[in-house]
Amino acid sequence: MKTVYYFVLLCLLSTTYACTKLKSDHPQANMADEHATDLNSKSILHYADSVDKALSQLAKTTSLVYMLGDLSFYVDKYSNSDQPIVLIEHGYNGLSNNTKKYYFRNDSLILEAVRNELSSDNGTVLKDTRTYLRNNTIFKVENRTAADEAAIKNLPYIDFPLSEANTSDHSYLEKIKTLNQILSGSDKFDMVFENITTFPDSRYIMLKSKLQNSYTASILVREKDALINSLLNNPIDFKDQKLNLKWMVQDQEAVYVPVASQTSAKGLKR
């Protein structure tokens, strides 16, 4: 039951995410706007494949790793000329992993590709789901399920009846809105300094949402700079303050990137 609870919790958090329409102008996009109504699953998959192959050429932005109870999650955004091309949502809690990719083409979400991985005493279950949209309306949903990566790759996708799926475009608008809030650190994801830990073998900057009983985040510190020294020496001065931090995500953990040009932490507050 605990395993099922975690899996359902992860899915529920994902379905509460939200969306503003985003505009994309990827150079490899070969589907003209005037032909948007002619999009089909084959052409959308071809577009998504071209995007995946070009990810290394796109600008990447990564959010903090947020935590709520046992659940942790973060979002990657790949963009071209400041226009989002794909958003990738990562969620995990030790028992399950959930990755969702949202592909955009000229101001429209056209594909959501989901990989759910659930681990239990009985083994691992993988489930892939693809949801296709045209003019912000779902027109096809398909999925496949298997016990391991090799098996699932050899399985065809099976159509899921639209009558049993949530075909509301509003839910996707809400999802993308929340993903953008995660990336920008706004609304309930607006974080302030709580404290800095000093364990013998590790050091973490601890952040909390401005909203009570909400999300938290931590950033692993491997190298010290002026800001870290100030936080260690005078943490009370930064309590409940918003800090200008840089980080990267490695192995599902935010890692602090030192600001070499700063000589004082005062200039690092926002």
Using left for φ > 0, alpha for ψ between -120 and 50, and beta otherwise, residue 152 falls in alpha
pLDDT in tens, 45-97: 999 999 999 999 999 999 999 999 999 999 999 999 889 999 999 999 988 99
Percentage of the chain modeled with pLDDT above 70: 79
The kind and range of the H/E element at 224 are none
Q: For residue 114, what pLDDT is reported?
A: 98
Comparing 95 with 260, the larger pLDDT belongs to 95
Domain locations in the chain as residue ranges? 2-184, 190-268
Quote the pTM value.
0.81
CB 67 within 8 A of CB 217: yes
pLDDT in tens, 177-208: 999 999 999 999 999 999 999 888 889 999 99
| Band (169; pLDDT cuts 50, 70, 90) | low
